[in-house]
Chains A and B, each alone.
Chain A
Amino acid sequence: MNSRSGSATSAAGRALSRAVLRQGGARCAALCAVSTTATAAGLLLPALLGHTLDLLLVHAPAGRWLGCCAGVVLLLALLDGCAGVLTGTADAHATAWLRRRLTGHVLALGPRATARFGAGDLVARLVGNAAQAGTAPGALAALLAAVAGPVGGVVALGLIDPWLAAVFLAGAPVLALLLRAFARDTSACVAEYQRVQGRIAGALAEAVGGVRTIRAAGAEARETARILAPLPELSRAGQRMWRVQGRAAARAVTVAPLLNLGVLAVAGLLLARHRLSVGEMLAASRYAVLATGVGALVGQLASLARARAATGRLAEVCAEPAPGHGTRRLPPGNGRLELRAVTARRGGRTVLDRVDLTVPGGTTLAVVGRSGAGKSLLAEVAGRLADPDTGEVLLDGVPLPDLAHGELRGAVAYAFERPALLGTTVEDTVAFGLTAATPAAVRSAARRAHADDFVRRLPDGYATRIADAPRSGGECQRLGLARAFAHGGRLLVLDDALSSLDTVTEHHITRTLLAPDPDRTRLLIAHRASTAARADRVAWLDAGRVKAVGTHRELWQEAEYRAVFGDGEEEIRDEPGTGGRG
């Protein structure tokens, strides 16, 4: 899905990574300093302990050294505490900073972001990727420690006796090879597990969709049993996963102790030849443990790589240019809309091809055409939900990009075929906009959209939570219409916003909606001939071009125009519920 060049994206990713570290500069620097100091103190401690032990074993005065040991242990605790708090807070701040920045940009992009990335992917980026990218400061500091610890451990072994370092370095690759072997057969049983799980989830999804049938049949228990039939298989796949993991873990837990024993054996031989003290042997054993921490390095590198990859995905979103807004205001007017040589492409296809169209202020224009003719994109371009590739769109003589944001959105109201109803309560949903509409405006708009009746039948009326009010397609559309009505403006764009209404309701709404109103221009995408018939004029769109503009009655003479509406009986129903819950 990434059409951009990889290098540009990764450059943007690097820039964003740097920005993440910069925004929390002091915290990140402190974190690195603390964890480096902690690693250094951790490397010092075994030597101190060893030397103190040697002094104690020969009954020499060791008070000062004991004090040092206690002091370093205390210092380590303090540093670890600081590092823990700093890691947590630095990561949290970085995540929050990324989320704020991304949310702002995504909101500025608007539907362009959804078109480019898809809604689900955007959520994944804002939630999951931002959290992963936010771990970068902590991962970087941990990586420093993960490198310094093992390197310091091996160096310290060498300083005690080169043989110790030699035996460690010789043994490590052998054991690492042993470790590699187990990464193999886990993926097969994980895939099997997920496959069975997917079957159960699929059957459950079907049953949730058919709940009215199941409940009316009283067949809940039977259906549950049927969905759960693959459960034993899931259980077997799960058991297999654990067994494979167990074999892997068994090998993993042998590596560090065996290396340690190898170092101890060499140290013991050196001790027997009096080339090493008991304390040094103790220190060597702890250094060997520190040196085996190199295994953690792989994990740290992986998590830093994950954080960077996540940052890269966020940078892709940030790299998408957001449309700017001008500062001009609208002159007095009634919403005269002009499209001048508008061309718009989507995915390499020219959807609108040099469209010239003028909607005189205060009139209604219906746009009709077969599906794929470019009607929806025309509606988007008309109110600047999308920008044309070439050509311009003017509202009362002002090009849309020159308008200030508030001026543009205050002047244009939209209603959609499948509106996303945002907000907490039904009231909040209808009031949703540049400025919240008053309760009186909300009710009046709902009445005009014929939504008032069904809203008042909801458990808490207008105060019903929108998530608790599943709606049919027609009810959704009426709430979306009410939202558009509540905010008014001089241009109203209806993108197939009446398609799910029954004919009676549609008739009532269009009667008020399309009644002569000298102050307001209305652009509506229509599929039904009856809707087109009520508009002042109809623009007939075909393959991205305006084929004809005229009244419905005039155009109806052409068989090709009539064919646009297909045939078939008009229905008195709602579309099936969208199931959309807020």
Chain B
Amino acid sequence: MRDGIPMRGPVHGHPQRVRSRAYRFLRARWPVLVRLGAWSVLEAGQTFVVGYALARALDAGFLAGNARAGLLWLGAAGLAVGAGAYGTGRVYGVVAALVEPARDRLVTAVVARGVREADPGALSGLTQQVEIARDTLAGVVMVSRSFLFTSAGALIGLFSLAPLLLAVVLPPLLAGVALFAATLGPLARRQEAFLAADEALAQSLGEICPGLRDVTAAGAEERVAGTVGERTAAELRAARALAHWSLARVAALTVGGELPGVLLLLTAPWLLDHGVTPGALVGALAYVTQSLLPALDNLVHGLGTSGSRLTVVLRRLTVRDPEGRGTVSISGSAGGLDRPRTTRGRPASAPPPSSCALSVTSLTFAYGPASAPVLHDLDLTLPTGAHLAVVGPSGIGKSTLTALIAGLLTPAHGTIRACAAVLIPQEAYVHTGTLSENLSLHRSDPVPEQELLAAADAVGLTPLLRRLGGPDTPVEPAELSAGERQLVALTRAYLSPAPLALLDEATCHLDPAAEARAERAFAARPGGTLVVVAHRMSSARRADRILVMDGVRAACGTHAELLRISPLYRDLAGRWTDPAQLPSRSPLTPSPPRAISESRRSGSAPRSCG
């Protein structure tokens, strides 16, 4: 179980791509950077004035016996503090102009990927990782900008007090920054390793906690404790390794922040001999201890953690999983292994001859090169206007067949020639919005109201439409029952211009009467062809031909033919029609089979049919 959970960690590194994207992003926003610089100058000015004013307050004021001048200089420093604070406030606004567009882009990318790949992970990406990226990006910008301008202000201040001071302060400062820069890479890697270990642990716990009942029932407590223990130990190792790298920060701070102060004192006799005033010396010490040291401290701590967190999160959000690992679609669930081969929209093959809505020849499909085929050498031809029901045990490949016809999967062998198809899966998609918006998903323009109402009437949506208060009332999907959502999805598909409708258990939450009505509506669509993955026998009996899927074999024919040739079909049909076998079924025996011609294409058929 050690490698059970994807360690989406530092392994999939594409730092260059992230970096070049960041570069392009910043280059396009140079006016923002200019504004950022302009407001930061105020902060740099504050740094400069505070140190310089202190030196002047001493030299020209308190040490010269002129307390008033000293106080005035300090007052000037106070004004500079106010101006600097104003600048800081404005900097936030400018940082927003940098961070918010970046966040917009990430949200756009995450949503697009979520819709494209049906990745439920996109949701946590949207609400958590994007927010981490937003906060850390702002943090990185603030901290590095603050360091740049504060040190510029301090260095200019030192230079104007006495150029010699720079010679003492600058070398250790540069050495400290260089030391920090050198350790930034390894530190970021430790940070990433820690985040990955933390995530792996969280994922493991996230799987186990909802399954505690099963763990207890299986008596697998020790095994699970072992798994979690390994993850906990891995996280501890990563955390310890990260903790040891904090020494690098301390070293950089000592060299770059503390050493200049000591050096100033060591060289003080020499400096004083070379014309540096006592005030200038105190001012220099103030620059070093009260501006440079805190700025470096912020840089070292802020960039060390935010920077690596940002890199990790950005990589996670913008780079696709390189293993191409995805999910397999088996029955109705959203799928993925097919993803690289998925053709957009319709299959690439040519449309069928006009008299024929669907033609499938020697179709073979398997979900992986090593797996057993789901469909093997399937042949199927449907004329325009036909009504086919597909029946078979669960997991036999009925949904796979509809997905292949709809072009969501690509066959390994064989051809599918189909006219434009609309697929209605069992999980009905209704989004927050008006009914009319929901119903026009398959149309390029909003559906005219007359047509919409007629479709609603045909499929059986009218009562819901009335209850909600018309097609332009907003609907909350959560407030609809599963059956009502299916009615919306069915009506939407009914309005689709595609002549071939594929109902993949799309009526499973409807009662038999509602199901019958909806299926008849589809069967009666002008020029429409209907394929129904049936979930009730009555639904199968409405079709004029039935495809029985039984493992890789399949048989196609009418009800009577199949009863004769398919043992599985007999079995399926027999589950209801043999009351002797199960005494309990007798009161529930379905109504006798209706002639197919009668049930087909009769929009006014009686409502009770199951």
Contact = CB atoms under 8 A, between A and B. Distances in A.
B575 A206 contact: no
A113 B212 contact: yes
B209 A122 contact: yes
B508 to A, nearest CB: 6
A251 B85 contact: yes
Nearest to B496: A217
Contacts of B278: 57, 278
Given A214-B115, A242-B92, A487-B218, A282 B282 contact: yes
Interface stretch (B12-20, B245-253, B350-358, B461-469): B245-253
Contacts of A419: 214
Contacts of B590: 569
B334 A459 contact: no
Interface string A405-427: 11011101110100111111000
Interface string A48-86: 010011001101000000100110011011001100110
B261 to A, nearest CB: 7
Interface string B355-387: 000000000001111111110000000000000
Contacts of B218: 409, 414, 432-434, 483, 487
A212 B423 CA distance: 8
A56 B269 contact: yes
A258 interface: yes
A458 B534 CA distance: 24
A201 B333 contact: no
A249 B209 contact: no
B416 to A, nearest CB: 14
Interface in B197-247: 198, 201-202, 205-221, 223-225, 228-229, 232-233, 235-236, 239-240, 242-244, 246-247
Interface stretch (B102-110, B445-453, B519-527): B102-110
B318 interface: no
Interface in B255-307: 258-259, 261-262, 265-266, 268-269, 272, 278, 281-282, 285-286, 289-290
B561 interface: no
A272 interface: yes
A271 B63 contact: yes
B114 A475 contact: no
B111 A224 contact: yes
A70 B261 CA distance: 9
B371 A460 contact: yes
Contacts of A383: 217
Contacts of A226: 431, 433, 437
Interface in B105-125: 107-108, 111-112, 114-116, 118-120, 122-123
A376 to B, nearest CB: 10
B171 interface: no
Interface stretch (B28-36, B67-75, B309-317): B67-75
Contacts of A162: none
B372 A456 contact: yes
A49 B265 contact: yes
A571 B242 CA distance: 57
B186 interface: no
B212 to A, nearest CB: 5
B610 A569 contact: yes
B328 A246 contact: no
Contacts of A96: 232-233, 235-236
B587 A567 contact: yes
B394 A472 contact: yes
Contacts of A214: 115, 429, 441
B330 interface: yes
B548 to A, nearest CB: 11
A414 B367 contact: no
Contact of A106 (B88, B202, B209): B209
A474 B395 contact: yes
Interface in A179-227: 197, 199-220, 222-224, 226-227
Q: Which of A122, A247, A264, A458 has the most CB of B within 10 A?
A: A264
A402 interface: no
A409 B247 contact: no
A99 interface: yes
A576 B508 contact: yes
A470 B246 contact: no
A470 B477 CA distance: 23
A212 B428 CA distance: 9
Nearest to B397: A457
A560 interface: no
A532 B440 CA distance: 46
Contact of B394 (A89, A215, A474, A567): A474
Contacts of A251: 85
B93 interface: yes
Interface in A109-129: 109-111, 113-114, 119-120, 122-123, 126-127
B243 A87 contact: yes
Contacts of A113: 209, 212
Contacts of B205: 103, 122-123, 126-127
Contact of B535 (A414, A461, A573): A573
Given A385-B213, A385-B217, A432-B220, A556 B584 contact: yes
Contact of A250 (B86, B223, B572): B86
B563 interface: no
A221 to B, nearest CB: 8
Contacts of A306: none
Interface stretch (B76-84, B159-167, B596-604): B76-84
A235 B332 CA distance: 36
A163 to B, nearest CB: 14
B328 A253 contact: no
Interface stretch (A145-153, A348-356, A499-507): A499-507
A111 B218 CA distance: 12
Nearest to B431: A206
Contacts of A422: 207-208, 211, 214-215, 220, 224
B126 interface: yes
Given A216-B406, A216-B423, A474-B394, A92 B240 contact: yes
B155 interface: no
Contact of B268 (A56, A81, A109): A56
Given A89-B239, A253-B88, 6 more contacts: A73-B262, A207-B114, A228-B108, A228-B111, A414-B217, A416-B217
28 contacts: A66-B265, A88-B243, A92-B235, A127-B201, A202-B432, A208-B123, A210-B428, A223-B431, A231-B107, A245-B92, A253-B85, A261-B50, A285-B54, A285-B290, A428-B4, A433-B219, A453-B551, A459-B368, A470-B328, A530-B584, A532-B584, A533-B583, A556-B583, A556-B584, A567-B588, A569-B536, A572-B391, A574-B505
